[in-house]
Structure 1
Amino acid sequence: MKNDNQHNELKPDMDFINSLPKIEVTYSKSKEDVWKELSKKISAPVTPAKVIKMQWMKYAVAACILILLGFTGFINLYTKTIHCPKGEHLSVNLPDQSIVDLNANSSISYKPYWWKFSRKVKFEGEAFFTITKGSKFEIASNYGKTYILGTSFNIYARGNQYKVTCYTGKVKVVSTLTSDKILLLPNDHAFVTKNGKIELQKCKNTEDKISWRNNLFLFTKTPLQLVFEEIELQYDIKIVEKGKFDLIYTGKFGKEKSVETALHNVCMPLGLKFVKGPNNNYIITSNAQ
């Protein structure tokens, strides 16, 4: 009984619905018109999507090229220079583990980031080179160039003098003045003359050429001015000559001794004397004065 009452409550009141006013919805288009428009849209060709040109990719590629060119220019132009001051000796390790022992007042320049492409250095002064085997190695100075593959040798390049002594391997020396060239073998010593020619000598004792590495300086019939220049370099002093001494010196001095001892060893046999002046200057005069 209870269920029948609930069912009756859910039935709609038909009398109420029939009493509502009828509403007619009118369409502005007929079924035929709607169908025609729908068919037209279906059969219409599909408009291709617009392809957006990615201009930013061009700019990105251009930027990458500029960065690459700038980086290449940097590694090719960046140069590292090492200078050994007066009164000192310095050992330099190059990127390929080649070793350069610099004498006083000597300098070497190279391009560390370009080293794998070109083993080339600029050098002035005096140094002993021990070169690791590999691609061609070039050493450029004002009056000469030296080319090697793997060897050890000594170069003296001061002022207008250029001298090379070969110890191991082979060394090619080229005069920058005349393009004169020569190939050195162990115990060969070559030097560039004032007119740009290269002269070759055989060394009986090549160790004398690099005695500076042991702080010993040997001279055989050497103009006195060159001896004084060496003392200036090794002790970082200034020598002032009161007079013109056109003399030749044969002898030696060791850097472990004082500069006064070195000057005494040089001046005394030649009849010269020295006194210390201001600012680390040493004045050379003749005993006759």
Structure 2
Amino acid sequence: MNNPEPNNEYFLSEWIEGRLTDAELQAKVPLLEYEAYLKLRQSLDGLAFPEPDMEQHYRAIKHKKAESLDRQPAKTFRLFPWFAAAAAVLLLFGMYQFLVFSNRVSTGFGQRSEVVLADGSKVILNNKSSVAYPNGFALRRKLELSGEAFFKVSKGKRFTVETAQGSVSVLGTQFNVIAQKDYFEVNCYEGKVSVHHQKQHQILTPGQSVRFYENQTEQWQQEAVGPGWIRGESTFKNAPLESVLRQLENQYHREVDYPESLKGVRFTGSFTHCDLQTALRSICIPLQMQCDQTPDGKIVFSE
């Protein structure tokens, strides 16, 4: 019988007991959970548990013995440190469950989903995307995104979206984030947005957009009041064809193939979410490309 794979709680227990170093824990759990563990430990480090006064206890025992010789001397045990350690572990696990990204909502091919967070903020997920957030979100407005989502953020303290490609921080605004493999794009529609990608930092105001792709940073102005996919149409402005076709795959649940020579082609336009053939024509005609469908449903693009 195969032994089950250790989970994050097992690694946390090993770390608490000193059998894992900080570096070993960081290698075994996601970065955001590792940072949460460190913050919890820092909080617990501030708690002081006084040692019991053993000399005072000893004098009290001698006094009671002198009062009654028939009375057996009481045995003392140093239980307090054990209770303190147990309480610390329970507190650590309680705060861990409260602060880690334990709630997750995901969408499949061609699906959308809306999430209303504890502070009243809304997250609208596009297809093949997921968002994770903690039980204590109202106290720590930070969540994790994979894929694409549109955010309507209630005013309050800092609201942060963490992705594998970078992070976005706001106070109260509306913005769209696309976080895909080797591709990161943020569009600001209201308020002000702070974008972090590796060592770069950008501030966006309404109408401004930025993308990070193949070690390049691109900025442009857009006049839309929200992302097109909310209204059933994916829109693009000078977007890499690779990103456009990935969104086509996610919307229609079809595998897409194209030659390497088309990877660098840029596309400005849109495609509908309602009809695949119309969507294919919307992409192929402006770019003067051809596309065919194989018997198994794969869509093959060519020059």
Matched residue, 2:145: 123
**Secondary structure of the corresponding residue to residue 266 of structure 1:** helix
| Aligned partner of 1:217 among 234, 258, 261 | 234
Q: 1:90 to 1:182 in 2, by over 3 A?
A: same
Q: 1:51 to 1:215 in 2, by over 3 A?
A: farther
Q: Alpha carbons of 1:214 and 1:67: their partners in 2 closer, same or farther (altered >3 Å)?
A: same
RMSD: 3.0
- Larger deviation, residues 58-67 vs 123-132: 58-67
**8 Å Cα contact 2:101/2:144 also seen in 1:** no
Structure 2 counterpart of 1:201, which letter? W
Would you say the 8 A contact 1:243–1:285 is kept in 2?
A: no
If the length of structure 2 is used for normalisation, what is the TM-score?
0.66
Counting matched residue pairs gives: 235
The alignment-based identity, stated in percent, is: 26
- Cα distance in 2 between the residues matched to 1:130 and 1:281: 36
The aligned residue for residue 185 of structure 1 is 205
From 165, 181, 187, give the equivalent of 2:187.
165
Q: Deviations over 1:207-230 (max 9, x none)?
A: 3x6011101123344444333222
Q: TM-score, normalised by structure 1?
A: 0.69
Partner Cα separation in structure 1 for residue 167 and residue 266 of structure 2: 29
Structure 1 residue ranges without an equivalent (≥5):
1-44
Q: What's 2:256 paired with?
A: 239
Question: Which deviates more from structure 2 when the two are superposed, residues 61-70 or residues 47-56?
Answer: 47-56
Letter matched to residue 251 of structure 1? G
Could you say which structure has the larger radius of gyration?
1
Match of 1:108 in 2: 131
Query: Where does residue 220 of structure 2 map in the other structure?
Result: 201
* 1:142-179 Cα deviation digits (max 9, x unpaired): 33211111111111222222222222222111222x1x
- The equivalent of 2:165 in structure 1 is 143
Report 1:9-24 matches (<5 A).
none
> What amino acid maps onto 2:186 in structure 1?
V
Other structure's SS at 1:138 match: strand
Note the C-alpha offset of 1:62: 5.2
Q: Distance in 2 between matches of 1:185 and 1:94?
A: 24
Kept in 1: contact 2:99–2:137 (CA 8 A): no
Which of 274, 280, 293 is the equivalent residue of 1:263? 280
Listed as ranges, the matches of 1:248-259 within 5 Å are 248-256=266-274, 258-259=275-276
What stretches of structure 2 of length at least 5 have no aligned partner?
1-65
Q: In structure 1, how many angstroms separate the alpha carbons of the residues matched to 2:150 and 2:176?
A: 4
